Structure 1
């Protein structure tokens, strides 16, 4: 198979470490396998339910009652929270959002997942697929916004919307933790499978010690970090990377890696499997060393 953003054969035989759990890594792993690469897994971060469930429930009750003009969903993990909360209430995710409330998100991937669970999206950036891109598009001044996010979410989205005149209510929807999450607290609501995910065998999952051995042997070609928190975990547990190239998903992840002293080989401009493959393709094509 040839990918439009990766010349034929450029990923053949490449071993790519994905620092996500198997369920979250599946679309990227499937695409890499179809291009002849070998995806490997080392989950570094996980997600737990918010400790303050009453605050989250109160916010969702207000949402259902029509107290907000907008619901802003900044991650696919937030969609998992909505799916789980809908199940708790014996309803569907779509019915958590009243007809008069519009939904915004940060890019096509989260838009597809939201719409797959029945929540239509009114606003999502196409060019800069990030909090910054959504703020750039925002024109809804003096409107009420509910923003459920991770406990460690940067304040840029909240502050950016507020600077545009929105009245933002932010609430912790989930906690980002080191993998694995604690039993009984892991946020594991099922989301619809990505369209086009093939039936390749599940990728091999490495232990931290196995990963260290592979890095020392120079047998991992690239590691993909999907978030600033993943970059921090890589810095804490995997350095030095040796000849392994660090691929960042998005500018915030690349910026965090730079602060941590991790050289960034490429940044995926679009936070999708296609965008990551394009970044990998650029790195390996420029090396002129197709295996």
Structure 2
């Protein structure tokens, strides 16, 4: 038994948009040893932790309970007694219809230290992402948060619909999708106007948010004709009419699109953020991983002889990172580069260099190997050029420089390793045609997708599932393997891929 009991953090993960978790919530994820997370939590939040994480849901899709609350309580207690830092990650806010207080009571009864980290509750996020304000000087000066799904074991409802019908403000019912007809009927029968504006919002603040509005009396019939699924909120009040004037979330250019991000898992953060900012759902499906060389002997020798070279050449951000990591590991630093000029293949590589407070001396206008080689040839280097490269890739730089009589040395700074399989999520989405786009950022990634994509899913390529290539060279590699390309970036970066997807989606 550990000598000291751990601590539990009851963390609100927000309503769905992964950017809506608090800074303190992120801090808890980063220091956690063990995480229990609800089914309403966006799995993208787990990219901020290296802890063991387990999904726990109190009910399955049919509504049948699969894990009792008491079992969740006991699991938190058991993990904390092992001396671990435990995070109970919950959708929305832990205490607003989240049963977090029940978990806190269980922890307190066992004298286990805990903290509560509040989260943005679904009511505020749903309303604001739908385009109306729960309070407004012209419409409502009060808000009432109500459960739309009471404990079925109760002998009768604890809600007084007579009072609710007369409430001078906005009503918000949590989890009431399947009880909407009963809720509307109860309010109207107790005197609420049948024509008051009302809305139902499902999957609030996610790319798949749906909003249906109508008069309260008509809303159940409208909703019955829509294919809606939980989680949901019902909002009743005059503020709903603001949606026509100030809705904004649905205006995002890639709203509702699922986009496959094929970059190595540890490097996909900028693409995740870009996808979310455009309204898309990023699906992580790394097709290659980046690793260190098995031996650094050759790389170390080249680093120690940098003064022999006129130019140092980087063709990826990975090359930059692994080069400088190794420089530091052998006890040196960037002062080694005080007499060498640096060339980068494109803006992303140059930006990686800037994180080390170094500026590239050369970045070609077109971000490709051919343009970089030509730009170097024009500068007529008198001393050798050193290329920090991967263990494999196109040899066009080597071919062109050597043909021009330039002495080129190469050092393998990192390795590409092909993924042996698609992730479970991406495999399912591809097989069912539910992925809208896949971004291909290198010929190697294109070829690996062609190897791993299920044969039965090829029928969806080019129609349900479209492919966007980072460059004409990547597009050519894809098409040579039978993958149809719908869009090609004009700027050879991931930003360029997203721009191409936007243009093709209009």
Structure 2: distance between partners of 1:56 and 1:272: 27
Structure 1: distance between partners of 2:332 and 2:320: 15
1:77 aligns with 2:301: no
19-28 vs 222-231, greater mean Cα deviation: 19-28
Partner of 2:286: 43
1:161 aligns with 2:401: yes
The alpha carbon displacement at 1:129 in A equals 0.4
1:235 aligns with 2:439: no
Structure 1 residue matching 2:499: 3-state secondary structure: helix
Structure 2 contact 436–465 (Cα < 8 Å) conserved: yes
Structure 1 contact 140–165 (Cα < 8 Å) conserved: no
Partner of 1:288: none
The alpha carbon displacement at 1:96 in A equals 3.4
1:23 aligns with 2:238: no
Structure 2: distance between partners of 1:119 and 1:165: 28
Q: Deviations over 1:34-93 (max 9, x none)?
A: 111111101111122223421111111111xx100000011111012112112212333x
Structure 2 residue matching 1:146: 3-state secondary structure: strand
CA RMSD, 1 decimal:
1.9
Name the TM-score, length of structure 1 as normaliser: 0.80
Structure 1 contact 114–120 (Cα < 8 Å) conserved: yes
Q: Give runs of aligned pairs for residues 71-220 of structure 1, distance below 5 A.
A: 71-92=312-333, 94-97=334-337, 99-126=338-365, 128-138=366-376, 139-141=378-380, 142-179=382-419, 208-220=423-435
1:279 aligns with 2:494: no
Name the TM-score, length of structure 2 as normaliser: 0.47
Q: Deviations over 1:81-113 (max 9, x none)?
A: 112112212333x2232x221000111111111
Structure 1 pair 82–147 and aligned structure 2 pair: CA distance change class (3 A): same
Structure 1 contact 143–167 (Cα < 8 Å) conserved: yes
Residue segments in structure 2 that go unaligned for 5+ positions in a row: 1-250
Partner of 1:196: none
Structure 2 residue matching 1:269: 3-state secondary structure: coil
Structure 1 contact 31–273 (Cα < 8 Å) conserved: no
Partner of 1:202: none
Structure 2 residue matching 1:247: 3-state secondary structure: strand
The alpha carbon displacement at 1:133 in A equals 1.6
The alpha carbon displacement at 1:137 in A equals 1.8
Structure 2 residue matching 1:119: 3-state secondary structure: coil
1:68 aligns with 2:309: yes
Higher relative contact order (CA 8 A, sep 6+): 1
115-124 vs 72-81, greater mean Cα deviation: 115-124
Number of residue pairs the alignment of both structures matches: 248
Structure 2: distance between partners of 1:221 and 1:38: 10
Which structure: larger Rg?
Answer: 2
